[in-house]
A and B are shown apart, each in its own frame.
Chain A
Amino acid sequence: MSVVVRKFEPDSKLKKMLDQPGGVTAEQALARAKQGLESIREDCLGATDEKIASLQVLAGGAEAGRGEKMYRLSNEVFAEAGGFGLGELSAVAHSLCSLLAAHEGAQPPRAAVMVHVEAMRALRRPELAGDKAARMAVLQGLRGLVQKFSAPAG
């Protein structure tokens, strides 16, 4: 069986633009990007608080499609908290996504979801959530929980 392959090289305007004289150095570009991110930090982390609160309501409810809604919210918390340096909160959100993905189309295990949401609430302000060893122990515990609830039945 032969497969027809067509190869071609589209023109890249981006390359030509990037190489034009002028512009900024990478160092300046990164500094300005980080400054821009700092300018929206409070707004974004305020929204993260609201997303965690929504997750808590969804976790305790019985709404149809709540698994998908929680997956989407948790994915947003993962990306946004991580982007602002809240690595532990981001890791918990990622763990919740893994748990929910393993139960796609089915009811997610309520207790395991609630534990994740409580951990998110605690790690939103890591400085108030115990020492680093305690926080690592929480993350380790959640990993075990996800493994347990994601294992194939049988």
Chain B
Amino acid sequence: MSGVDPNARINLSKASVLLVDGSQHSLDMLVQIMKGFGAAEVHRAQGVAETERLLKSKSFDLIVIDPNLADGDGYALVRDLRHSTNGSPNAFIPVILVSGHARASDVAKARDTGANYFVAKPITPNVLLQRIMFVSRDKRPFVEVGAYVGPDRRFKFEGPPVGSDGRRNSDLKSPLGTADEPNMSQNEIDMMIKPQRVML
């Protein structure tokens, strides 16, 4: 079980989760996984209209969504959710975007939705549990800049643990000092954010 401590405890016994996928069978798979994790309430939706209705009427603790929906754009749905700041209880809840094959045009859309994390299908319980635990402990602040509202897309490297010089020659020493290389290009940043399949 790579990546998750088998003895770590998780308590979703009061959690209300919204699962959205255009395929009934992919949705069934997500439901089984989340029920296995012990989620108290699992709500499901297969389209944009149904999802919007649920988001307006209920308060959730986590959304897992495949944005490729038959009746509309799931990317826009997540983006609109992040902008729905006028009292919506769900505006800033954790959103995990799951995606099957992604067209090149979808990658940029995914990056700009304001979702907390991206997971490539096929989904396995191990990977989904890892991502839920990561998202729940994610300390990145939300930012609102231009049309983007969501977690800061820059992951910060904070060096080796305090009091340690690190275990690798390449570990940066503190203080870091001034940069000696040019900033990354937008293209390089985009490639880091692109959804990747995790091999366990």
A interface residues, Cβ below 8 angstroms from B: 3-10, 12-15, 17-27, 29-37, 39-40, 43-44, 47-48, 71-72, 74-76, 78-83, 90, 94, 97-98, 101, 104
Contact = CB atoms under 8 A, between A and B. Distances in A.
Given A44-B29, A83-B123, A15 B137 contact: yes
B23 A29 contact: no
A90 B123 CA distance: 12
Contact of B15 (A17, A26, A97): A17
A51 B68 CA distance: 17
Contact of A25 (B7, B35, B137): B7
B9 A24 contact: yes
Given A22-B11, A23-B13, A83-B123, A47 B38 contact: no
Interface of B: 1, 4-15, 22-26, 28-29, 32-38, 61-62, 68, 70, 91-94, 100-101, 103-104, 121-126, 128-129, 132-133, 135-137, 141-146, 152
Most buried by B among A32, A48, A90: A32
Contacts of A34: 36, 125
A10 B142 contact: yes
B33 A37 contact: yes
Contacts of B6: 25-27
- Secondary structure dominating the interface of A: helix
Given A72-B68, A101-B101, A79 B121 contact: yes
Contacts of B123: 79, 83
